[in-house]
Homo-oligomer: A and B are copies of this chain.
Amino acid sequence: MLKNSQNIFSFIKSAFSEEESITPTKSVIKWLEKRNEQVSIHIEKVKFYELKQWKYDEYSGSLRHDSGKFFSIDGIKVSTNWGNVNEWEQPIINQPEVGYLGIITKEFNGTLHFLMQAKIEPGNVNYVQLSPTLQATKSNYTQVHKGKKPHYLDFFRNAEPDQILLDQLQSEQGGRFLKKRNRNIIIKVDEEIEVKDDFIWLTLAQLKKLMNFDNLVNMDTRTVISGIPYGSYDEDVVGLFKFFGYQGNNNIGRKFLASALLENSLHTNDEVIQFITRLKSYYELEVERVSLKEIDDWVYTPSEIKHKENKYFKVIPVQVEIGNREVVSWSQPMVQPTQDGLCAFVCKEINGVLHFVVQAKLECGNFDIIELAPTVQCLTGNYRDTKKGKLPFLDYVLNAPEEKTVFDAIQSEEGGRFFREQNKNKIIVAGDEIPLELPENYIWMTLNQLHTFLKYNNYLNIQARSLISAISFI
């Protein structure tokens, strides 16, 4: 048992508790719908020259805000010995600041609740999604844009060490962001706290349940939730279930919980480190800046920056008007995907414990060459165009029978940068049809191991974390 077990026990209990919540689950969806109705949002695609305060900067060769803050769209040239294409150029979002993704928690009736926000983001498919208590870039919270101070900011700024339940640096999409990281933080308060409009208290079990609905829990919530530790135990699982007062009777939930708690894994953590070291030593990733207007294979028109074959994504200038009681408007570039993506974990029982097929994946914006990714992570166009069977496990995931698909929902990417980008998220529990032997660059890991690597810097990518956050134990 661990020393910080008090925090861990609170998290575990909250992950078991749906009916113990002070907010009924079914009321949440209605509440979000109502928030959506009350909101007026108008987004218009404009021309680059119509963007206020955003300009193409000749000197840096990038699209920037006049203040030099927020983010910029840069051009990069990538060279690598990974995969079949070893050199390419592309636009990328460069946002070197570390932002806050913070959740305040508090116990009600002995169960930890998370203070969630119904937040409008211009790029969201459902305009309003459940987001962390605080979601703020450094420009935001140092108030470069002279806007209002974000709600609850001072709770995080002034948190005492013993209030902090989790504080981790986590990466964003390596294909779209250049080495971007956020500070994922959960704090606990004991005092009374004002619940502002658009905020709501939910348990961890509820958040996981709500992820079964398409585009309802936003990416920032998912990444923070994914980092929650449940501890490591070498005891027998029945004893642990009893110890934690686990009542779940969902068979697959029990299996996931066992995989999260137990140390019984096919490979030790040291072996996983060896697997990663070998790949990081072998694969090279070099990223150079190039001018955004001179990227090979991309066209910079007055209304978009796009790939000449309309592949991957576009950068588009938009004018946003968003309001509830008061209306705010601004303009900014956004990234619009040309197609949806697919992220899936395949798992199966090995020595009685569920193991996940984890892929080591190089993406050009990765902080450290490779990160651990889901079994399958691709754009739909990728697999529709390529020959069948080329991408490991893709056919299997596309054709997996319903009874083996334990999670299946569409999840949005961050709505502040991405325009209606969404990915199919799937978790499949396989049987003997998936052999123990894996292709190169793939490894079996338990949920316990994924949680351990997740908390050290830049090991698990956002797509893997999004799937992990959705795993329910009840």
Contacts and interface: CB of A to CB of B under 8 A. Distances in A.
A280 B169 contact: yes
Interface string A140-173: 0000000000000000000001001011110000
A65 B185 CA distance: 46
A273 B161 contact: no
B271 A98 contact: no
Nearest to A368: B457
Given A273-B168, A274-B167, A268 B455 contact: no
A82 to B, nearest CB: 15
A280 B367 CA distance: 14
Nearest to A2: B268
A437 interface: no
Given A167-B278, A281-B98, A271 B4 contact: yes
A233 to B, nearest CB: 11
A445 to B, nearest CB: 14
Interface string A441-465: 0000000000000011111000000
A277 interface: yes
A333 interface: no
Contacts of A229: 270
Nearest to A185: B277
A141 to B, nearest CB: 11
Interface in A216-272: 229, 234, 263-265, 268, 270-271
Contacts of A3: 263-265, 268
A183 interface: yes
A415 B229 CA distance: 43
A96 B79 CA distance: 14
B98 A455 contact: no
B169 A277 contact: yes
Interface string A183-209: 101000000000000000000000000
A183 B281 CA distance: 7
A280 B185 CA distance: 13
Most buried by B among A1, A96, A455: A455
Interface in A85-104: 96, 98
B280 A4 contact: no
Given A183-B277, A183-B281, A280-B98, A4 B168 contact: no
Given A167-B274, A169-B281, A271-B4, A457 B455 contact: no
A189 B456 CA distance: 32
Contacts of A2: 268
Contact of A273 (B286, B367, B455): B455
Contacts of A455: 270, 273
Contact of A274 (B161, B278, B280): B161
Contacts of A98: 280-281
B161 A270 contact: no
Contacts of A270: 4, 166, 229, 455
Given A280-B457, A368-B458, 9 more contacts: A96-B286, A98-B280, A161-B271, A161-B274, A164-B274, A168-B277, A185-B277, A273-B455, A456-B459
8 contacts: A96-B286, A98-B281, A161-B274, A167-B278, A168-B277, A169-B277, A183-B281, A367-B368
Closest 3 CB pairs of A and B: A167-B274, A456-B456, A4-B268
